Amino acid sequence: MRKWFLVLSFLWVLILSWCGWSNNLVEYNDTFVTLVKECTNSTQTLFETFEAEWTTLESLSQSLQDSIDICQNSQKKASDMWSYDKDSSLRDTAVDLLSTEIEYLEKFASTRQYRDIEDITDEDREQYESEVNELYQMQETLNSKFVSLQEAQESFAAKHGLNIE
pLDDT score for 73? 98
Stated as kind and residue range, the H or E segment containing 26 is helix 2-51
Q: What is the dihedral of CA 66, 148, 152, 30, to 10 degrees?
A: 30
Task: Tell me the C-alpha distance between 43 and 22, whole Å.
Answer: 32
Which among 93, 41, 98 is positioned nearest to 74, based on CA atoms? 98
Instruction: DSSP for 131-143, please give it.
Output: HHHHHHHHHHHHH
Q: Is the pTM of this model over 0.75?
A: yes
pLDDT digits (tens, 9 = 90+) for 27-83: 998 999 999 999 999 999 998 988 888 888 888 889 999 999 999 999 999 999 988
Q: Does residue 18 carry a pLDDT above 70?
A: no
Write down the domain spans for the chain: 27-160
Number of H helices, E strands in the chain: 4, 0
Alpha carbon distance 22, 20 (integer Å)? 5
Q: Cα 129 vs. chain centroid, distance in angstroms?
A: 27
| Of residues 97, 92, 78, the one with CA closest to residue 35 | 78
Q: How far apart are CA 92 and CA 78, in angstroms?
A: 8
Q: What is the pLDDT of residues 72-131, one digit of tens each?
A: 999 999 999 988 888 999 999 999 999 999 999 999 998 877 776 777 888 888 988 999
